[in-house]
Chain A
Amino acid sequence: MRKKKSSHKKVTFIVGSVIVGLVVLMAVFPRIFTKYNPIDVDVMASLSPPSLKHLFGTDNYGRDIFSRVVYGARIDLMMGVLGTVVPFFIGGIAGMLAAYYSGWFDRILIGLIDIMMAFPFTILVIVIISILGNGIINVYIALWLVGWMSYAKLVRGEVLVLKNSDYIQAARVAGFSDGRILLRHLLPNVVSAAVVYAVSDIVLCMLTGASMSFLGLGVQPPTAEWGAIMNEGKSYISYAWWITVLPGLIMAVTGVGFSLLGDGLTDYLRRKGR
């Protein structure tokens, strides 16, 4: 029974890795996948359905949708990864320091998080992008400003539990410096929970970023980005379904890939932890 389960886990992990690997490849070397330029307008070929020439068809400007999806991978992947990694560090460090030293810093941090978390996530992101203006950099900043809190909360909780453990107390008694205790003893123990969360967060950040451009915020035209492609295709949905359906499908598959990968990773970290 146990063996069967782990082999099944292995399969999903492999499937996840392959999907994510392909998307990363698209993001890094888009030229391998398509000969078209994603922003080249070809009015004569506008709104052609999927064919061998245009795998995913073309949009109203005659731009090749497949090439737009391929080139869009870079931005969407960056939104997922940057939107996760930066908050991971900022939030993680803030949470760890706050929990370890307690005192005023901890109180301010917790107060700030309580207040910020009371605002609806989506509205906060929209308002921040509106303040900063459209542009992909501003989408990242908005994701950072709202994303770090979960990590701070998570890491803080873990550190609070560990801080009073016999093991850390022993390290203190032994006269180790704070820096050493934090880096050598606390960090390795709290990082796995944050990593598990981060992997699922990649998908969430990607989805949030794409939803913003779907709402017309975020990336500037004619930049290829998955949410933006779908937004542009929305007006044509009743007779040129491919502009909306196919990029969304790729996005969903990418998300599932990350999910499977994250699931496998969680399992691995859990087993290692025990």
Chain B
Amino acid sequence: MRQFNYIFKRMIQMIPVLFVISLIAFFIIRLVPGDPARLMLGEKATNDAVAAIRLKYGLDRPLPIQYLKFMRGVLHFDFGNSLKFQVPVWNLIVSRLPVTLALTFLSTAISLLISIPVGYYSGTHKGGFFDRLSNIWNLTAIAMPTFWIGLMLLIFFGIVLKILPVGGIGGGFWGHLKSFILPAFTQSLMTSALLTRNIRNAVVDIISQDFVDFARSKGISEGEIKNKHILKNAMISTVTLLSMRMAYMLGGSIIIESIFALPGIGKLTIDAIFARDYTVVQAVVFIFAIVVMVINLITDVLYSILDPRVKY
């Protein structure tokens, strides 16, 4: 019940924040110089045609009125039509989101699969050869340019070995899976390094704390200590870190998606920014912000479940 109240309170607090976010989402793209009408018409644009287009899409109306129109749409789950693609923005998002979500979840899964065992083992065998090796690898992985790693993997597996596709999302289930291997792996490199390091340090800290000794002295078996206490406690900070990384990956997918030619949200966003596709940018930025806020909320709730010390 207390948790429910907490969530409720947090959601109430979100309302004014959402209002400001909608303002920013709306105005930020309009601050960028360049007229979408002229861009639509291309290099052979006459001034009359530009004026006609501005009239047709309501771009000539005062900004506050355009903003109200945007907000009225938002309340009805209607983000209007994309200026560039001439289809409802919502359809574009629906068709692109799965790619980005799949990429984010796959790379999260890969990161967790690597970082939990490696971090745990390193932490419990602190200072050993494996720990040092993993430490150096983590430092390296964090420092490498993602776009370069992506290109290198692409050259090696796509061009030299020719065993994985060089871009696009392939056909059929295996085709899709194969297309996602390289991008997901590239995307997961930094996250898995950060997570491994975090888990390892948390494990080291917890082992040196009194309550593990205390548990041990109470005759709780070694295995139980490991499972219940060490891992659970190590997960607290990991959840926070992971949520931050997921939010980052959703936005950072732009670079991965453009290297591997994946038709995801990131690609859609950058194309829309360049095309001054106002309706798409304002919707995507707004939705992104909401998703990030929801991730943060979920994290806080998870945090409170994992760590009973957190007070509301």
Contacts and interface: CB of A to CB of B under 8 A. Distances in A.
A104 interface: no
Contact of B144 (A4, A12, A255): A255
Interface string A1-45: 100110010001000000000000000000000000000000000
A251 B148 contact: yes
Report, nearest first, the 7 A-B pairs whose CB atoms are least far apart: A120-B251, A255-B143, A248-B148, A118-B289, A259-B139, A259-B143, A252-B144
A5 B127 CA distance: 6
Interface in B134-161: 135-136, 139-140, 142-148, 151-152, 155, 159
A4 B296 CA distance: 41
A248 B251 contact: no
Overall SS of chain B's interface: helix
A130 B281 CA distance: 13
B71 interface: no
B146 A211 contact: yes
A182 interface: no
A252 B145 contact: yes
Interface stretch (A84-92, A109-117, A161-169): A109-117
Interface stretch (B16-24, B82-90, B106-114): B16-24
Interface string A186-221: 000000000000001001000100110011000000
Interface in B243-257: 247-248, 250-252, 254-255
A181 to B, nearest CB: 28
Nearest to B143: A255
Contact of B151 (A8, A133, A230): A230
Interface stretch (B28-36, B209-217, B218-226): B28-36
B293 interface: yes
Nearest to B148: A248
A118 B292 contact: yes
Interface of A: 1, 4-5, 8, 12, 111, 114-115, 117-124, 126-127, 130-131, 133, 200, 203, 207, 210-211, 214-215, 227, 230, 234, 237-238, 241, 244-245, 248, 251-252, 254-260, 263
Given A122-B255, A123-B269, A237 B288 contact: no
A152 B124 CA distance: 34
Contacts of A5: 127
Contacts of A127: 28-29, 32, 273
A176 to B, nearest CB: 32
Contact of A237 (B127, B151, B255, B289): B151
Contact of A258 (B33, B143, B159): B143
A126 B32 CA distance: 11
Contacts of B21: 115, 118-119
A122 B254 contact: yes
Contacts of A237: 151, 155, 159
B285 interface: yes
A131 B32 contact: yes
A263 B200 CA distance: 15
Contacts of B33: 131, 133
Given A119-B289, A120-B288, A127-B28, A245 B152 contact: yes
